[in-house]
Amino acid sequence: MTKYLTTALLVAGLSIASASAVDKARDSRLYELRTYHAEPGKLDALLARFRDHTTKLFEKHGMANIGYWVPVENKDNLLIYLLAYPDRAARDASWKNFLADEAWKKAAAASEADGRLVSKADQLFLTATDFSPGFTAAGGTGERLFEMRTYTTPAGRLPALHSRFRDHTLGLFSNHGITNLGYYQPAAGQPAADETLLYFLAHKDAAAAQKSWDAFRADPGWVAAKKASEDAAGGSLTVLDGVKSVFLKATDFSPVK
């Protein structure tokens, strides 16, 4: 009896230790997704400023450069990038110091001698989900096709969507050659924070992406998981037209390629 009790306690202790390790490894950083709308004809100049000055100054002031992308079909002249900080206070301090940096002021003035480069900048603060694999600087070899997907759920159904991704979707993506990267929820106080899942994937190329998605959607495991999750929730886990996808290519100065 003592032997079995000792074994049970050991297993329980290992389980607790394992859970604790997962908790410690969980990404608690604040992320910021920024989208810059370049003025007509100014996207190349904006990219040059980031390449030659901005990313280095961000790093100087404690910002983690995660990824920089432009849409494959970029009719709106967009630059989309992701930064990370320890927390909101650190973020605000970093931006304050960056904007006050004389090197930044000089670079901005020189690049805008013929007019401003950005017409509008959008920002969204994010936190990583507990199932987010995250980005790594050495995320594969060669140029990849990235995909940014945004899901909007009916009120109260985001936890069910998270469960489906955690328990089924990520594994099925991997089975079909899709690389899981960062998975995020808007930070508290952001628009639709309790109804939005935003995540990034990577594919070898456009043909591979199409093949992977076709195979995933036809997978009986996915069909069953989708039906079970929707039956349990009482309906679809996304609103009508609530799934948005943008294919992206990394810039030459992006840490993740």
Q: What is the pLDDT of residues 105-162, one digit of tens each?
A: 999 999 999 999 999 999 999 999 999 999 976 545 578 999 999 999 999 999 999 9
Q: What is the pLDDT of residues 194-252, one digit of tens each?
A: 999 999 999 999 999 999 999 999 999 999 999 999 999 999 999 999 999 999 999 99
Residue that terminates a domain, selected from 81, 109, 127: 127
- CATH code where residue 74 lies: 3.30.70.100
Q: Judge if 91 and 151 occupy the same domain.
A: no
Q: Judge if 121 and 143 occupy the same domain.
A: no
Number of domains observed in the structure of the chain: 2
- Which range (19-28, 46-55, 125-134) has the least confidence? 19-28
The boundaries of the domain holding residue 182 are 131-250
What global pTM score does this model have? 0.89
Residue 242 included in any domain:
yes
Residue 90 included in any domain:
yes
Q: Judge if 142 and 91 occupy the same domain.
A: no
Residue that terminates a domain, selected from 107, 127, 147: 127
Residue 139 included in any domain:
yes
Residue 6 included in any domain:
no
242-to-65, 66, 150 alpha-carbon distances in Å: 29, 26, 8
Residue 52 has pLDDT above 50, yes or no: yes
